[in-house]
Structure 1
Amino acid sequence: MPSPPIALVPRIALAMLLAASLATGCERAAEEAPIPRQTVEAPSQDAAFDVVIVGGGLAGLGAANELLGKRVLLLERSARLGGRVDTREEDGVRYELGALFAYDPSWLPRGSEPSPLIRSESRVGFSSGGVTRFSESAEALVNELEGRSTGAMRFTREWPARRAFFGVIHPGRLEEYVADRQYDWRITFALDRRARGNGELVESLARASSAEVELEAEVSRVEERGDLVEITYSKGGETREVTAKAAIVATPADVATRLLGPLAEGHPVSRVRYGAGVVVVLGIAPDTLELFSYVVSEDAGVGAVLSHRDGDVRILTSYFAREDAEAVRGLDDEALVRHTVERIGALGVGSLDVGQVRLADVRRWETLGTIIAPEPYESWKPSHFRIAPRIFLAGDYTRWDERKMPYGMGAAVESGRRAGREARTLLASSGMSDGDGAVVPVAAKETVLHARLGLPVPKAGRFPPLTTCDVFELRDEAPRFLGRLEEGSIAPYGLLLLAGRDESIENYLRESATGDLWEYSPGYGATSADSALVLEGLLEAGTDDAVLVRSLDLLRERYFDAKTGGFRTVSRGRAAYWDGASADTTALIAHLMQRVAPDRYASVLSAAAEFLLSSQREDGLFDARWFPSQVSTASYAVRFLARRPDPEGRYRSAIERATKAMVDLQREDGSVAGSVTETAFTAMTLAVTQNHPTRSRRRAPSSKACSSEACRRARDTSSIGSRCRTGPGRSSTAGIEGGSPRPWHAPPSASRRRPPLSEALRPRGPRARRRVARGVRRGAGGSPGTPWTCRGSGAPRQGRRDPRGRGRRATRRVRAAPARRRRWP
């Protein structure tokens, strides 16, 4: 096979390997299994729980779902769960007195199915002086009303339309918010809803939890004492006290401030503010008013009226906030309903009187929504989530970065899950206490590894997630950002052992095993691919073969498909896509079996090799079911097949096709498919096959095979072959498993040669160099004085530009922890 016309260096940086494998982090689908439930005795004064969760809203329920199998007590002040989700039903008609927009199915626990999504009307309107103007877009309507483009505008009090549209989701005044949020008036919201309402999200989370729930439990104090947290609450006139190893305070910020006392003094949680509001729901005949999705106004005495239809009833949800809420504060429910009917009639969308109202309901909220003010949110840090070593904060107000709002159901669920994961990590940590509940790192080398990855050294010996995942929904107009997940706190650490033995990581991985197999992150469920990543690290660290064989036997028993000869990644996936044998997982596990006990797994290895051959596409690559990179799957397949006996040359042919397919993806800048992941895997593949032209820079006029003693020894010990100098200006490559020798072709002329990998990865242009400089200053990688660094994370965006100009087609982008890049020689 001709040598590829590129100059790739086989020395692979650890950061590239880590980034390549961590790119799979957002593609996990844990095994389906019955949700574990446990019976917990009624709490007594001396009962000790693993975790006590204060607050039974979405944040508290999200935290409980991350703590399955732990001894958890959830305390809720009211007589129901759900917090600001309040779905009600009357005469078969469902409506929302709290969170209104339809929840996202990704917030449901595993195994739950959402009810059908019911689409809403699309028209939005602005009412002024009793006249309503309609449009399909809030921004277009504001532009039309104000007679100028938004780019030429500045925010002032004289622009009532934008202020009114801003109030659809924000209960505060526009000028109170951080600058980025002041543009939210441009958003046109879809009032789609679930057939069973948002209450089914609450029900699903509660049903999936193994926590014991105490309703109507008024918590008065949360205090850390040594290695425990004491929680005092009252129920039925009786005061009780429980202790726990950790506590999650999942209440609104003002309640958390009161419960935590001195801990909250000076903390940003004490400076979070909320806007109060009143929600009034009316049910009328469908054709009573004009059809619209929602209408806003600044002079009608009601901020926004939202409309949807449920059967033969039209539901109007009216919001009173700011001055409008103050105006109705003293009204009782009956008077408030009459006032609402009058205010809707003043919008100019049709006439309405009290006699036309079929149902009415009212809910007054002191914490309708977070006011996202510069103080505290411009100084908010991730460290603020953990207010004490054993006390964590959760709630929608805690989720904050430059692209998110600390407001809404998604923020609440995500914040709870984050707090639950951190509490679970705390419970799993072990080692010597430093006096405040933290655990001292066991090995000095741990500091080196974490510094190498750009991560903070975990004070408590806890191993933090190595990846963050940005999740997007693909839509026709543009991808929609759904949320961010922190993942990868178990399996990816197996990759770090490939860099060198580290006792603390070895112990952590052994203790993190779930029945001799491993998860990607706690609670995700063990998979064969995650287990293989850990096992490879343990193998390189010198773990006893008997330990490895026990896990490999379990992988064969649970995941090997004798019909196809491949390995499944999960026993049963969340969707049909994940079912069946996977080429990437098969190559990973087969490689381990071949290295550890080839005779023991001989029949499995033969079947796996045949499965990989049958899975190879015409272009030489392999369809990846689990990894988002086809090149990575091909690289793992080549690594396995290269060690197989190949008397007929079938494996050699597959290896050559796969290698050529990877090399053909190289671009003029030297990268492979413009991706550091693909480039790293291609370089590793070429290092395995020895098919890179860096051993000699001179043209080889002869294809004569090398007969030197060194070359013969290399051929005897390598199933791929080797190249050595046969004399001045000569070089040759021994064939794969006894194949015929092949001449080495000189690289193209200097004017046409692609740059070597070290040049290809060097930032080019003044903007790129400035970004690199900023990355160094921020600690994103490298340090002042290093030859060069790469900006941002180690993992690339997976996916490519949509030719229609509608954004990337990738549903997820994985960002591994930043790592220093080494300059290649």
Structure 2
Amino acid sequence: MNSYDVIIVGGGCAGLSALSTLANYRTLLIEKNSSLGGRVNSINLEDASAELGALYSLEPMLQFNSISQTACLDNINGNAQHSSILFIISHSLQFESFSPIEAFDRLAIANQSQQSTSFYKRVIKTNSRSEPTITNPNFGRLDLLSPDQLSLVASLFQVTHPGSIYDCIPSLRPLCLNNFPSLTRTQTNQSVLMNLFRVPSNAQVALSSNIISLTELNSSVEVKFENNDQCISAQAKSVIVTPPPASIFPFIKSIRPQSLNFYHSAPYISGYSFVFLFIGPIPAQSAFVSSIHIWSVCFFTRVDDSRFIVNCYVPSNRFGQFSAKPSEHELASSLKPYLSDSCVLLQSRSKFWRYLAPVLSDLLVDRYFQEHYVLSNRIFYGGELSTFTPDNLNAYGTHNAIKAGETVANFTIDTISSSHRFINFRPLPPLLNAHVFTFNQQIPKYLGSQPEGNVAFYGLLLSAFKEQSIKSYLLKASVEGLWEYNHGFGVTLEDSLLVLEGLIDNGLPKHHIKRILNLCIDKFYDTTTGLFVTVKKGRSSYWQGPSIHGTAQISYLILKHFNLSDSLLDSQKILDFLSASVTSDSLWKSRWFTNSYFTSFYVVRLLMFLPDDHTTYLLLSRYYERILQSQVSNGSWEDSPISTSSVILTLALYHNSLPITLSNEIKNSLIKAINYLRQFQGQECFPSEPLLYYWYDISEIDDQFTKRFYHCMDKGRISAALASLALQSASSYIVDK
């Protein structure tokens, strides 16, 4: 197996930039196509060069010595046009202007909507010695525009940001007026890209190669890919992936859920690129902008005195507005009315781009976190969106992809010489083994297994075994005062509470308990429902809504450790929620935990703390009746140590509060259950059994979601901890048989 310092997946702008930045390291670049360039796709029509991919010229980059100086190059291409632009607003409204802003302002006067100019003015007053800068609160507001202006900006928007202007971050919308490209160039984008980023001598390139899997190991990443019908394996200390997330994430075995959540918030729009070569009188305009055709903008480039090239982009969101799928003949015919009658089409080419450009919405800002590009300890995302921040919203396009490749490559260099990225924090061994599947149109595909769960469930071990080393570990593992299921996965309510209870059982001071609970309230309390969620703005539709397990666990802790007057809890809302959520067999099922008895313990514990009423009595009575009826002959519930331990914890802790008629029966059940658990204590470990499951939407193609499903098995240590807690709580009933 070949070994490298870094493997780069994707040979587009970002991948080539990363490869150049890592020139001093042993690298392998894997590209699925037969040539490098990605969305830079220069072609020839007869003897004329044309761009079938990215339109923005890369030539201005040649004048800079450093990639880092190219951050604002999109604006260089947005200078005012020397030729006019024909704006086709409707069949009856067509006119020429020298810039989009000039056309916008012209419509403002015609439609008597002068206030609409604040749509593209970022500030009202510029800073001076006497007056501060005043930010324009109307920047990007579409409701200020007249229908004609809205048609104009919606069409212009397709040039730099395919997708609906309504779905975009408001502050990005006005860029369509200021960022109109000029196609003047002396070199093709392909030649510029190859001149900028020559393949280093110590790098290898694998073309026409398809990724099979990327698996993070203890000190490296294994990459499997197919080349010439052969499966090839390679290892690297780090991997940078640069293709659009939806196209590469399904092949990565383990991705931080927080990162998956972030990139899933920016789906890519597909579309077609068309190039036409005409002979005849060259149009006087540099471009056409249309609200009534399937194309939104057409650009004209002069080849010689008698020939010219037309570039058209047709994003997929315009298909339904006009026709199911555009053809070269349809587009050429739609241009004819605006060209000279003597113009003749010589040649044309088209290309479908599955991932034309991302949709940047407010949801992406909401889900932003600083290191979203760190997909795992050794796998990093280096594509165009990797540099996205709330202060750098314009993080897309070829120029930004080049910047992104360099930025993430520099970050990756820090990991090459270290055995682990988290030098000052070494996670304890994972407690679970996750079996990973993908579901595409509900068809499962098994990807393999991976160890998980190296943080939150150690809270249960801490409660059971009181080991100081685990306590110290968990205190170091906190993320801004809360905890994750696995290091790097992102904090959740349930994970934070598992750790908090472990710390409480080991003497956490009361003021620290209140501080952590307040953090949970701030982060996970839903004021609209009066309940708690696992994460706000869920990582898929499955993650959204109130959490039974989390609401029950935190409500109990709040009631126990806060004065009731200090609590924000609405006991009636919580009781109504629990009453509505009970299953037909009088248990409670969590969205995450496979074991209903485990979740039911936390619910029953809370019910004992809530004010007595008829509903509470019924729920508790039915639960205990269910328990007595479902115990099997060997003393267990479901022949499961986890189920049995959970029931013992419920029965033993609250037996004195139960109806008197049930007390003797429950005592006998406890004794049988305790003896069932004791048989495992002499063994080396408890049996492995399911404990957790979760899934994410990882891509969407033609309205079909691809899901990644994780079925997590306890390796035995969590079962042992629960059994220990159960036996401790029921110690007064342990008898020798």
Return the TM-score normalized by structure 2: 0.48
Of structures 1 and 2, the one scoring higher in RCO (CA 8 A, sep 6+) is 1
Return the TM-score normalized by structure 1: 0.43
Higher helix share: 2
